Structure 1
Amino acid sequence: MTAAASARLILTRLHEVMASRLHAQAKLDQVVEIIGESLTSEVCSIYLLREGALELFATRGLNADAVHVTRLGLGEGLIGTIAKNIETLNLAEAKAHPEFLYHPETGEEKFHSFAGVPIVYRERAVGALSVQHVDPRRYEDVEIEALQTTAMILSELIAHKELVDLDHPLDLAEAPSGPELIDGLALVKGLSEGVAVFHQPRVEIDQVVAEDTEAERQRVYRAFDKMRDQIDAMGKEPEFGKGGEHDDVLETYKMFAYDEGWSRRINEAIDSGLTAEAAIERVQQRTRMRMREIDDPLLADRMHDLEDLSNRLLRIVSGQLGTAARQGLRRDTILVARNLGPAELLEYDRRRLKGVVLEEGSLTAHMVIVARAMDIPVLGRAKGVLRRVNEGDEVLLDADKGSVTLRPSPPMREAFDARFAKKRERQAAYAELRDVEPFTRCGTRIGVMMNAGLRDDMSALAMSGADGVGLFRTEFQFLVSSTLPQRERQTRLYRDVLDAAGDKPVIFRTVDIGGDKAVPYIEASMSEREENPAMGWRALRLSLERGGLLKAQARALLEAASGRTLNVMFPMVSEPWEFDAAKEVFDEQLAWLRDRRKRLPEEIRYGAMLEVPALAEALDLILPKLSFLSVGTNDLTQFLFAADRANPKLAERYDWLSPSILRFLQRIAQGVVGHPVDLSVCGEMGGRRLEALALLGIGYRRLSITPASVGPIKELVRKIDLGELSGAMQGWLASPPLDMRAALQDWASERDIETD
């Protein structure tokens, strides 16, 4: 008998039991009899989660007196292991398993073989279903399949309280209660609060058992056709559902969407008597169990791709389409998702969206770049958050400390409110410095500029009092666009930005895409995925190879800046010839416009980003060609330390205040002395008060930072005597203390200078 036939036989008999007038315990007793008989197993037992323990609720073959007496903790014994790990066990000799635990009241000592599957509801185990046999043998795959399908049906029946009486209330997954703290990785720092809203609203499966198997099959066929149409059109979308992945993800999606094995497994589940929705969920549960056993990150990513497609298929077949963005946010919201793309983030009302919590997420994801520009706190790698939070729960997001609190208690809320109030007070004090020029105590004017990347960011220029835009990331328009942005669209954006800036300067960085910022409409030059995308085919390297890309951007910038000063900066310059090649593209477009008597910029200033350490060894060669040089500390640091900042094991390992990085940065500053070149730092380092102290102490006089950091850095500057600070830094760099950060912190504290 096939697995589908076995499951269908069990489902048919279960349907008869559920239709009877028996009370809950009698129904459960009938259920274990049906399963045991169908699988010719001498023992069948159901354990359910109650008051934090797995309690024996019904059995065929074990001592009846053990029902509601035998209890195991999560992780205790074979049953506890199944529930804790959400895994299937199939053992020829149960006693040989290291987690085997004998309970004498059950009378199970004579049984050797054992198979058990978790009863899962909303990605959480609420019980376990097991069978046992006297003879040592492994159960057949068809028997395990039938058990797993039956366990899914039981979870729905239990959730709808059809198999449990009021005397034995269960710990179900649908409504976690009480305060809960989840740690994660701070992707964009900040404090925020709001109610939990799922980016992809959960699909509720109301009917599990099919009335017409053929009708359910046709529903799945139609859903597959619609999903495949969506996948075929996905190449025109900005993201492919896995935020930060690109062409290879699209190919994987196509592979799964047309995979006969996947559709066959769903059909087999329908053959067993499940509805289309329940069949998809059944196969999805199997995928989740496999995911928990996978150590290979690349293979795990592919399984996540299949999970995303399963969710898409489930939404199509159920008719529950659309994200929370389309439904609209009605209150201050903390968005909860597995992953998120930048275009999806931009669909939300920025007035209501206060923060994002991701089950996955990485520091280099496109969405994080956009969220940082929007000043929206983001917490990633918050494991289990999708199943531990309810829609509408109160959420306190502390991305400064890397945690999120669900359903906070009054004391938790009071502590958070106190921190939030203190932060708002500081922000109000910083806002008062908007029109105050940042001079040090010794009278030196420090340039404090802001980073931007969206048209809407320009409103922060006046609000923050920044001296200008030291870094406008032009790639945002490319990352959130489904196709290569046309030159006219680029021109409109750049002109709008310059109009909004007025008399203040804007430095446009040419597009930095490729590598870990891949876009679907530009194919990589290599057939395989890059091992180290941050150091790969990206930024100026890509732009020079794709000449049309840089030509279009050059023309757009030149036309947008007609009659004004244009500041252009090239990213990831490794050697002077790359700068020369990029400038030549601009010179050619300038000549083309001049020949056609187009109005030109009054002045063009060219600069480079020093992110690749090699360029520091050629400063004397490139400085005569530059009007300005910006040190990109984010990439520079990871290149210097050979440490991928997207790797959570390395993200916090190497300190920006390490003598190594500070000495390197000081050498750059000293190399610029005597040249008419504006030197600045662009990056997160300059926006942190303690790190900014170090930068000012080693010779930097211009910082380009997030708009939210402008006020705090202005306030810091006014408390500093550069002579005193520089003297201290020189001493520390000559003879580094054991903890540079602690030494600088102590120095600041002695002078009543607050740091982060």
Structure 2
Amino acid sequence: MSAAASARQILTRLHEVMASRMHAQGKLDRVVEIIGESLDSEVCSIYLLREGMLELFATRGLNQSAVHVTRMAIGEGLTGTIAQNVETLNLAEAKAHPDFQYRPETGEDKFHSFAGVPIVYRERAVGALNVQHVEPRRYEDIEIEALQTTAMVLSELIANAGLIDEEEAGSLSEGLSGTQTVEGLTLVKGLAAGHAVFHQPRVEIVQVMAEDIEAERQRVYRAFDKMREQIDNMANQAEFGGGGEHEEVLETYKMFAYDEGWSRRINEAIDSGLTAEAAIERVQQRTRMRMREIDDPLLADRMHDLEDLANRLLRIVSGQLGTAATQGLRRDTILIAKNLGPAELLEYDRRKLKGVILEEGSLTAHVVIVARAMGVPVLGRARGIRGMVREGDEILLDADRATATMRPSGQVAEAFDTRFAKSREKQAAYAELRDVEPFTRCGTRIQVMMNAGLRDDMSSLAMTGADGVGLFRTEFQFLVSATMPQRERQTRLYRDVLEAAGDKPVIFRTVDIGGDKAVPYLREENAEFDENPAMGWRALRLALEREGLLKAQARSLLEASAGRPLYVMFPMVSEPWEFDAAKLVFVEQLEFLKKQKKLLPDAIYYGAMLEVPALAEVLDDLIPRLSFLSVGTNDLTQFLFAADRANPKLAERYDWLSHSILRFLRRICQATVGQDVDLGICGEMGGRRLEALALLGIGFRRFSITPAAVGPIKELIRKVDLKEISEAMNDWLLDPSISIRTELEAWARERGMDLD
């Protein structure tokens, strides 16, 4: 029997129960019998939330004496875990699960397999529907889908019967008071204050079972047409200019809107007897289950895009079209959402949108790319945020420190305002240095360049007064595209970037994808799995193997740089031959363009990123071939310490001001002395004032950092005497017993240097 037929059979029988004059308890008793019989299940049980506890309300197969006796807290046992996480469990052996708890009064000791789904009311779990078997086995998808469908009907039944404890179900969101702080993951840095606005009000599904299946199908068809029209209009009206990365994000989003597999699954749910709204919600529940099982962050982010579209479709089909964006923001706003699609973020008034807090979200999400370009701070992974805040609550968002404070007390708000005001004052002071060249006290000119990756980032060049772009990450265009970016599109991007830079240099790093920056259109061709993606098949290694990829990028960069100098940097060079091989691709493309009588770059400067420690041992061989060398501190540090920088437990364990990393970096500096090569530092280390001071002391004279760090580093440079800091660093590096961080902080404070 198909999933639709199985679910329809259950729904038909449940409809009869719901329409009967039987009392609520009798209906629940009949429901567990129907489900148990339909799924050939030896046990079927319903737990409902009462007085803060999950109470066994009805069962088939467990001891009847346990009904209204067995109770467990949210998060306790398997049933409590289902309710707490609002997730489905499917276990061949229940006792093997770490949250399993045995309740002797139920007589469940002989049952091994277990499956349970949450009963959800107004986005909160108010119970659980469980089945069990004696034989150990995982339940089939058809059985899980039938349970999920039944749970939706149960939600309606128990709500109409008054069995849902409304006060308890709403206690997490109603009557909130007092200051609360939530921690998360910084997705886009910044400080912001505003009032909470929920991205989209929850669509109330008032009818689950369909009276006319064909009529429900036509409602979904019309909703799909309207949603696709909306997405097409947004793609055409995007404000970031034609042909850029944001267009490619929206194209990926559009691809999901037209996905036939998605619409087919919704139709199958309607075939089972659900209304259009309930069918969309059922398919969305399945999507959420899959998202929890996906380890690949890129694929998970694309599942988030699909859920974003499902929410849009649900609002259209229900007629509840209003979102916070379409209704308009009336005051400074901190937007609250479970997740957010890039197209929806573009709908908001940027004058009022001050920040975004997501329950989910990741650094690789498409919405982060758009938010960064908009200059909107974003906090992700703020677990439970929607249950901690009410519409209109005041929120202080500190994405720099990865926290958000709801309903701040006067003292907390005052401290935040002071910090915010100080930040604005500093930014104003840094802005005044925009046209000031960064000379040290001893008269040495230090180059301060900025990192970029999007066309819109180039506006920061003039705003900060940076000397140029020391790192343009070309991979962003590849990461947000559903297919390999065409050469013409690459050329257009690079030309736009160079035109925005004017006469300032732009160092283009060739594509660094693969490993932890996986893209599906390349991964599908590569069957191998990287257990350590940061050290795997990525960057130059991938580009040299996929020669067509590097050839296309080489020609794009050469054509875009016609009449200008071109600076090309190869990432993750491990040995000199890799640099030679990559340069040869450019040389061959240059010869091809010459034969085509194309206008060529005025000059080409080739460089390498030193991220792999092995390269430091062969600099004497490599340096004569280079015009410039950039040390990538982010990857270099994790390779030196064998510590994954994405692992929260290791992120703060190894200090950039340790003797090991500073001695290593000083050796690199010393290897370039007297050589005709421009040495620079590239990465987060160079944008932190204390670390930048140490880098100046060991010999670095070119920095490429985030635009926000340009002003602070320029201000620091103007207070430094290089001879003085160099002597101090030499002394500290000779003595491994001291803390360089402690010594450097004291040294800087004595000279009036602000280290914040």
* TM-score greater than 0.5 by the shorter chain: yes
Deviation of residue 163 (structure 1)? 2.0
Task: Mark the CA change 1:582 to 1:46 in structure 2 (over 3 Å): closer, same or farther.
Answer: closer
Instruction: In structure 2, give the amino acid aligned to 1:163.
Output: G
- In 2, Cα distance between equivalents of 1:625 and 1:167: 73
- Report the CA distance between 1:670 and its aligned residue: 0.8
Work out whether 1:476 is the aligned partner of 2:514: no
Q: Secondary structure of the residue that 1:438 maps to in structure 2? A: coil
After TM superposition, the structure 1 = structure 2 runs for residues 339-378 of structure 1, keeping only pairs within 5 Å, are: 354-363=354-363, 375-378=375-378
Q: Which residue of 2 aligns with 1:616?
A: 616
Q: Summarize deviations over 1:122-150 as a string: whole Å, max 9, x none.
A: 55322457899xx9x99x99999887655
Shift of residue 467 of structure 1? 1.8
Q: Which residue of 2 aligns with 1:526?
A: 526
Counterpart in 2 of 1:512?
512
Are positions 1:666 and 2:666 aligned together?
yes
Deviations 1:557-605 (A, max 9, x none): 3444444333222222222223223333333444445456554443332
1:742 is matched with 742
TM alignment of 1:508-657, pairs within 5 A: 508-519=508-519, 522=522, 525-595=525-595, 598-657=598-657
- Quote how far apart the aligned CAs of 1:198 are: 6.5
TM-score after normalising by structure 1: 0.77
CA 1:606–1:46: 2 relative to 1, 3 Å: closer
Shift of 1:712: 0.8
How far the C-alpha of 1:481 sits from its partner, in A, is 4.4
State the SS of the aligned residue for 1:9: helix
SS at match of 1:711: helix
**Would you say the 8 A contact 1:338–1:358 is kept in 2?**
yes
Q: Distance in 2 between matches of 1:432 and 1:323?
A: 43
- Whole-Å Cα distance in 2 between the matches of residues 306 and 437 of structure 1? 47
Partner of 2:162: 163
Distance 1:131 1:742, change over 3 A: same
- Cα distance, 1:722–1:503 mapped onto 2, change above 3 Å: same
Secondary structure at the counterpart of residue 516 of structure 1: coil
Are 2:711 and 1:711 equivalent residues in the alignment? yes
Contact residue 81 and residue 99 of structure 1 kept, 8 A? no
Q: Is the 8 A contact 2:449 2:702 kept in 1?
A: yes
Which one of 251, 263, 266 corresponds to residue 269 of structure 2?
Answer: 266
Counterpart CA distance in 2 for 1:727 and 1:691 is 16
Report the more deviating stretch, 607-616 or 277-286: 277-286
Give the aligned length: 721
Structure 2 segments unaligned to the other structure (5+ residues): 37-41, 231-242
Aligned-partner Cα distance in 1 for 2:659–2:77 = 52
Superposition pairs of residues 197-596 of structure 1, within 5 angstroms: 203-213=203-213, 215-216=215-216, 266=269, 271=272, 273-282=273-282, 285=285, 297=295, 312=309, 315-316=312-313, 319=316, 327=326, 330=329, 332=332, 334=334, 354-363=354-363, 375-385=375-385, 394-406=394-406, 408=408, 411-481=411-481, 483-519=483-519, 522=522, 525-595=525-595
User: What is the alpha-carbon distance in structure 2 between the residues aligned to residue 290 and residue 525 of structure 1?
Assistant: 23
Identity of aligned residues (%): 64
Q: Deviation of residue 427 (structure 1)? A: 1.1
Q: Structure 1 CA distance, aligned partners of 2:360 and 2:557?
A: 37
Q: Quote the offset at 1:379 in angstroms.
A: 2.9
State the partner residue of 2:239. none
Name the aligned partner's letter for residue 162 of structure 2.
L
Which of the numbers 5, 8, 16 marks the counterpart of 1:12? 16
Q: Which runs of 5+ in 1 are unaligned?
A: 18-25, 103-107, 231-236
Note closer, same or farther for the CA distance 1:649–1:380 as it changes in structure 2 (3 Å cut): farther
Secondary structure of 2:608's counterpart equals: strand
Q: Aligned equivalents of 1:316 and 1:93: distance in 2? A: 37
CA distance in 2, matches of 1:622, 1:39: 71
Change (3 A) 1:680 1:340: farther
Deviations 1:353-401 (A, max 9, x none): 5444444444566765675576543333333446656676654322222
Amino acid at match of 1:586: F
SS of equivalent to 1:650: helix
2:266, 2:279 within 8 Å by CA — same for their partners in 1?
no
Cα displacement string for residues 313-356 of structure 1 (whole angstroms, at most 9, x for unaligned residues): 57547645999798597465545566668788778776555444
1:674 positional shift: 0.6
Counterparts in 2 of 1:418 and 1:11: CA distance versus 1, 3 Å:
farther
C-alpha distance in structure 2 between counterparts of 1:221 and 1:413, whole Å? 49
Question: For 2:685 and 2:167, how far apart are their aligned partners in 1?
Answer: 56
Gap change, CA 1:44 and 1:343, over 3 Å in 2: closer
In the other structure, the counterpart of 1:48 is 49
- Report the CA distance between 1:681 and its aligned residue: 0.7
* CA offset digits 1:280-324 (Å, max 9, x no partner): 5346547757987x6x946x9989977875765575476459997
Counterpart secondary structure, 2:691? helix
* C-alpha contact 2:14 2:31 (8 A) present in aligned 1: yes
Cα root mean square deviation, aligned: 5.4
Return the letter of the residue paired with 2:119: I
Deviation (angstroms), 1:671: 0.6
CA distance in 2 between partners of 1:625 and 1:749 (Å): 42
CA deviations on 1:219-251 (whole Å, 9 max, x unpaired) are 7799999999x9xxxxxx9999x99xx9xxx99
Alpha carbons 1:515, 1:535 under 8 Å: kept: yes
User: How has the CA–CA distance of structure 1 residues 445 and 158 changed in structure 2, closer, same or farther, with 3 Å as cutoff?
Assistant: farther
What pairs up with 1:12-161 in 2 under 5 angstroms? Answer: 12-16=16-20, 28-29=24-25, 31-32=27-28, 34-35=30-31, 47-50=48-51, 52=52, 73-75=73-75, 83-84=83-84, 86=86, 99=101, 118-121=118-121, 123-127=123-127, 149-156=149-156
Aligned partner of 1:105 in structure 2 is none
Which region of structure 1 is more displaced relative to structure 2, 425-434 or 377-386?
377-386
Q: Distance in 1 between matches of 2:93 and 2:589?
A: 75
CA contact (8 A) 1:479 1:517 kept: yes
CA 1:484–1:147 in structure 2 vs 1: closer, same or farther (change >3 Å)?
Answer: closer
What corresponds to 1:20 in structure 2? none
Per-residue deviation, 1:184: 1.9
How far does residue 699 in structure 1 lie from its aligned partner after superposition?
0.9
- Whichever residue aligns with residue 269 of structure 2, its letter is I
Paired amino acid for 1:266:
A
* Alpha-carbon displacement from aligned partner over 1:716-746 (angstroms, at most 9, x marks no partner): 2222232332223223322224644334333
2:720 maps to 720
Q: Secondary structure at the match of 1:617?
A: helix
CA distance in 2, matches of 1:545, 1:143: 45
CA shift in 2, pair 1:708/1:264, >3 Å: closer
| Aligned equivalents of 1:469, 1:648: Cα separation in 2 | 30
Amino acid at match of 2:637: T
Instruction: Decide whether aligned partners of structure 1 residues 366 and 701 sit closer, same or farther in structure 2, where only a CA change above 3 A counts.
Output: farther
* CA positional deviation for 1:175: 6.0
Change in 2 beyond 3 A, CA 1:393/1:552: farther
Change (3 A) 1:128 1:483: closer
Paired AA for residue 126 in structure 2: V
Is 1:239–1:341's contact at 8 Å kept on the other side of the alignment? no
